Amino acid sequence: MVREEMLTTMASRTIIRMMGLLAFVPLFACGKAGAETAAQFDNAQRMKFPADYRKWVFLSSGHGMSYSPAAAAATEPPFDNVFVDPVSYEMFLRTGRWREGTVLVLEIRGGQSRGSINKQGAFQAGQPIAVEVHVKNSRRFRGGWAFFSFDRAKPAEKIATTAECYSCHQQNAVVDTTFVQFYPTLLPIAQQNGAFRRIALR
Contacts of 71 (CB under 8 A, 6+ apart): 64, 65, 77, 78
Q: Which range of residues in 90-98, 112-120, 164-172, 193-201 is near ligand HEC by CB under 6 A?
A: 164-172
Q: Report d(CA 133, CA 156) in Å as an integer.
A: 10
Question: In the complex with ligand HEC, which residue's Cβ is closer, 92 or 147?
Answer: 147
**Residues binding ligand HEC: number (CB under 6 A):** 22
Site for ligand HEC in 75-94 (CB under 6 A): 80, 82
Question: In the complex with ligand HEC, which residue's Cβ is closer, 155 or 168?
Answer: 168
Using left for φ > 0, alpha for ψ between -120 and 50, and beta otherwise, residue 133 falls in: beta
Q: Does 49 bind ligand HEC (CB under 6 A)?
A: no
Q: Does 98 bind ligand HEC (CB under 6 A)?
A: no
CB 100 within 8 A of CB 199: no
Site for ligand HEC in 4-23 (CB under 6 A): none
Query: CA angle at residue 161 from 155 to 162, to 5 degrees?
Result: 125
Edge-to-edge order in the sheet of strand 79-84: 57-63, 79-84, 103-112, 123-136, 145-150
What's CA 114's distance to the chain center, in Å?
Answer: 32
Among 39, 87, 106, 174, contact with ligand HEC (rule: CB under 6 A): 106
Q: Does 149 bind ligand HEC (CB under 6 A)?
A: yes
Q: Which range of residues in 43-51, 90-98, 121-129, 160-168 is near ligand HEC by CB under 6 A?
A: 160-168
Among 41, 46, 60, 193, contact with ligand HEC (rule: CB under 6 A): 60
Contacts of 90 (CB under 8 A, 6+ apart): none
| Amino acid code (one letter) for 197 | R
| Contact residues for ligand HEC, defined by CB under 6 A | 60, 62, 65, 67, 80, 82, 104, 106, 132-134, 147, 149, 159, 163-165, 168-169, 178-179, 182
